Structure 1
Amino acid sequence: MPRPYPPEFRARAISLVREGRPGHTTQESAELRAARARVRQLEQEISILRRASTWLDEDPLDPKERTR
């Protein structure tokens, strides 16, 4: 059986809940969701740029070997 929380901790937790301080507000949740979506988008862009960089860094064809 887990040890019970000390009475001071329980009293503090109850007071925070009554004040409405734990958790996120609706606005904070929306901002967090938008930030996570933006991070996901930026990570995809970085991935695309890395692949493009690798592709562009390959040895180019000799211009004399190209045909018109």
Structure 2
Amino acid sequence: MPKPYPREYRDDVVRVARDRDPGVTLEQVAADFGIHVMTLSKWMRQADVDAGAKPGTTSSDNAELREARRRIKLLEQENEVLRRAAAYLSQANLPGGSGRGSGKGSTRS
């Protein structure tokens, strides 16, 4: 995945695209900045959402969602480790426990 452009750079490109002279196309602006026109269009749509001009998920909401998903994934991994540890310990030969091979608790003759 390519490294994302810095926020300031994206904001500058969007501002230039919005303030462009009549007759200057988005394709020309994108080419001047060395980006694909679809990238510029996406940045402009996101800027509209962030400004509240269009409905959608803002950049800050997206960042929070990414962080929440990262934390959920980490917690799920930790939960799996704990689940496996609990399963292992429940089968372990603990003193005074009823695990296999403890030699205690057998009343059969």
TM category (shorter chain) comes to 0.5 to 0.7
Residue 59 (structure 2) pairs with residue 18 (structure 1):
no
How far apart are the structure 2 equivalents of 1:13 and 1:28? Answer: 17
TM-score in terms of structure 1 length: 0.58
Q: How does 1:8-47 map to 2 (within 5 A)?
A: 10-20=36-46, 25-47=59-81
Alignment length, in residue pairs?
56
Q: Which residues of structure 2 form unaligned runs of 5+?
A: 1-30, 48-57, 94-98
How far apart are the structure 1 equivalents of 2:89 and 2:61? Answer: 42
More contact order relative to length (CA 8 Å, sep ≥ 6): 2
Q: Percent identity?
A: 9
Greater Rg, structure 1 or structure 2?
2
* Other structure's SS at 1:52 match: helix
More helix by share: 1
TM-score in terms of structure 2 length: 0.40
Q: Which runs of 4+ in 1 moved over 6 A?
A: none
The range that moved more, 35-44 or 50-59, is 50-59
Amino acid at match of 2:74: R
2:103 aligned residue: 62
* Other structure's SS at 1:63 match: coil
RMSD: 2.6
Post-superposition shift, 1:64? 4.0
